[in-house]
Amino acid sequence: MTPARIALAALVWACLLGLLTGAAQGAAAVEQPLVVLSSDHLVHRAPSARSQAVGMLAARRPLTGHATTVPVLSRRQDGAVSWLRVMLPGRPNGSTGWIARQGTRPRLTGWRLLVELAHRRVAVFRHGRLTRSFRAVVGKPSTPTPIGSFFVEETFRMVASEPGGPIALALSARSNALQEFEGGPGQIALHGRDGLGGTLGAAESHGCVRLDTASIEWLGAHIAAGTPTKIVQG
């Protein structure tokens, strides 16, 4: 690694760990710290190797094989070990846990997504400013889109024959109404309408958020894994 890259990595870790002050700290308020896993991590209930292990966070995502990227909520030090409280994918929705910092790489994102179910739209923010707003199809009353704070697990282009193409942004959220769907775990995604249809501005999906082709193509080109995604009723 070159000296410039080492310095950049140190700066990102400083932002992530809250070591910057003044104007730099204010700027970081509209950016979300993330970590990219380079190995599987045991998830603990508390920031200590002595605390109960509650699961395993795999280094790779199941659909794409890409490196797992998760938002960081806080940090603690326990002796020589740095611990990170991160958002976790899967059930129960909104889960968090503690992983060791070792075996991760820091990253920051200024992007955020806000899904407003009542307004049937997806709002895109960058560095705290509204950048785009897209009309959407959301979950119908019997299979509602779950509300809460989530993140984009992985983004991928679908093959032409797959319904919901051309692109999907798979979220950490899972359906509260369907334990499984089409052989999967009831995972919620933002995706297209290929082979599915749906009227923009309507509530008629199985819980996922459908967008027109131009909108989902734009999201696929700009939104990466780890992007915080909040789903609200209003």
pLDDT digit string, tens, across residues 170-212: 999 999 887 766 556 789 999 999 989 899 999 999 999 999 9
Residue 38 DSSP label: S
Residue 110 DSSP label: -
Query: pLDDT digits over 9-39, tens only?
Result: 444 555 555 533 333 343 345 899 999 999 9
Radius of gyration of the chain (CA): 18
Helices (H), the chain: 3-16, 22-28, 213-222
pTM metric for this prediction: 0.85
Domains for the chain: give ranges and CATH numbers: 3-109 (2.30.30.40), 111-232 (2.40.440.10)
